[in-house]
Amino acid sequence: MTTGDRRRFAVILAAGDGKRMKSDRPKVLCEVLFKPMIRWVEDACRAAGVEEICIVEGDQSELLRQAVSPACTFYRQAQRRGTGHAVRMAAEALAGGGDVVVLNGDSPFIDAQTINAAYRQHREEQNAVTVVTAHIAAPFGYGRILRDSAGAVTGIVEEKDADTEQKRITEINSGAYWFDAVFLAGALERITANNAQGEYYLTDVLGIALTDGLRAGGYTAPDSNVTLGANDRRALKTLNEIARQREIDRHLDEGVDIPCDDGVVIGKGVTIGHDTLILPGTILLGNTKIGAHCVIGPNSYLVDSTVGNGTRVNASYMTNAFVGENSTIGPFAQMRPNTSLGNGVKIGDFVEIKNSTIGDKTSVAHLTYIGDSDVGSQCNFGCGVVTANYDGCHKYRTVIGDRAFIGCNTNIIPPVQIGEGAYTAAGTTVDEDVPAGALAIGRVRQQVREEWAAKNINFKGGKK
């Protein structure tokens, strides 16, 4: 949006500890849909076009800084003395003037639309402060918005300070506000900790504006969900459920088939093509991209992975892996990082592949480990093939040409190359190159000792 030359910046409050969460990490690092709450808030600011972001941090700041972008400016609040005190830590940023949006790091659903709609109202009404409010059915725990008979905002009262009548108010303070930065800096010097919690409440700034004859307004969010916060694990679970359903609905609207969403969790960055069927127990995270006409699940876990059109992944794991079109993976297979499978590939049960490429139409059907390998197309792996890629110190690559046939229970000890169309006999240990078209057989020749049992075993089964 056009904001003229006015400076717009954000202060996100994130110094709270995890006391009510019973966490040993800062509360704002608790995750909603696998993303720390503070990161949701930062992303909303950037989506709103607010690029200058200040974060008020408390203890364990290293952990916090890992969760947000390094472009943020950090201010430390050494002791938790309330939200008003926390904002004061960013006094240096406020002194630069302009309009500041203050946000709670534990309210992840604030979005760009709300931030900008509230800003528009803030500017139009020429307010010193505009608080984002919402009407919610269960307001317990939130600050309540007080209004006069004409509907003008007159103050905010915290749950712990509210009388019985005030507790019945269902319009709540979201913890998001636009302020005139210079006014805010001055007002923060005047608030006191004279309340039930003995804290410096940011909310008291609203009363100061009115006392000074300045304007205070309330922007009521049409979707009350944007205002929800989490102080404990129960609330966090509620937020997770809302976020999860939102993502599922988004994919349903895009033509993805999710007949039963039990245990289905789809992260925000995931894309899924139309007519793909997602079955129960499927978790799709990170930068995962699923094509059209796939079947994913049941009970599959994909992180940062790509699946081509028409591919089936059944009860399997993929992390940072790629599979092309019309392939099948699973049940019970694991594709580990840097695995790239071609089109029409078949990966069966109890197969693990790591840091390897597998060509088109290759079949690895059962009980096999392939690590650090380049495998051609149309190869066939028998049951129980193992690449011994690690000697305890170093890792080595195996290279297998197109149409090679790897017999059951072959051990491959790299560095080694198996040529195009070569065969390995069942039970062979391959530790030298196999030329194209050759057969490698390396196993102890079978011996047969006639009547061995009669000579050695008595009738009760014991040895003679």
| Residues that bind ligand UD1 in the complex, under the rule CB under 6 A | 13-16, 27-28, 56, 77, 80-83, 85-86, 104-107, 142-143, 156, 158, 172-175, 201-203, 229, 231
Annotated catalytic residue: which of 122, 274, 293, 366?
A: 366
Does residue 366 carry a catalytic annotation?
A: yes
**Closer to ligand UD1 by Cβ: residue 182 or 193:** 193
Backbone φ and ψ of 175, nearest 5°: 90, 5
* In the complex, residue closest to ligand UD1 by CB: 143
Shortest Cβ distance from residue 81 to Ca ion (Å)?
Answer: 15
Window 72 to 111, contacts with Ca ion (CB under 5 A): 106
d(CA 95, CA 93): 5
Shortest Cβ distance from residue 83 to Ca ion (Å)?
Answer: 9
- Out of Ca ion, ligand UD1, none, what residue 81 binds, judged by CB under 5 to 8 A for its kind, is ligand UD1
Shortest Cβ distance from residue 263 to Ca ion (Å)?
Answer: 29
Does residue 199 bind Ca ion (CB under 5 A)? no
Shortest Cβ distance from residue 221 to ligand UD1 (Å)?
Answer: 12
- Placement of tokens 């994919």 in the chain: 251
Shortest Cβ distance from residue 123 to ligand UD1 (Å)?
Answer: 23
**Closer to Ca ion by Cβ: residue 30 or 89:** 30
**Closer to Ca ion by Cβ: residue 106 or 204:** 106
Q: How many residues bind Ca ion (CB under 5 A)?
A: 3
d(CA 250, CA 226): 17
Shortest Cβ distance from residue 218 to Ca ion (Å)?
Answer: 19
Which one of 229, 267, 359, 407 is in contact with Ca ion (CB under 5 A)? 229
- Out of Ca ion, ligand UD1, none, what residue 157 binds, judged by CB under 5 to 8 A for its kind, is none
- Out of Ca ion, ligand UD1, none, what residue 183 binds, judged by CB under 5 to 8 A for its kind, is none
**Closer to ligand UD1 by Cβ: residue 136 or 295:** 136
- Out of Ca ion, ligand UD1, none, what residue 99 binds, judged by CB under 5 to 8 A for its kind, is none
Active site residues: 366
Give the interface with Ca ion as residue ranges (CB under 5 A).
106, 229, 231
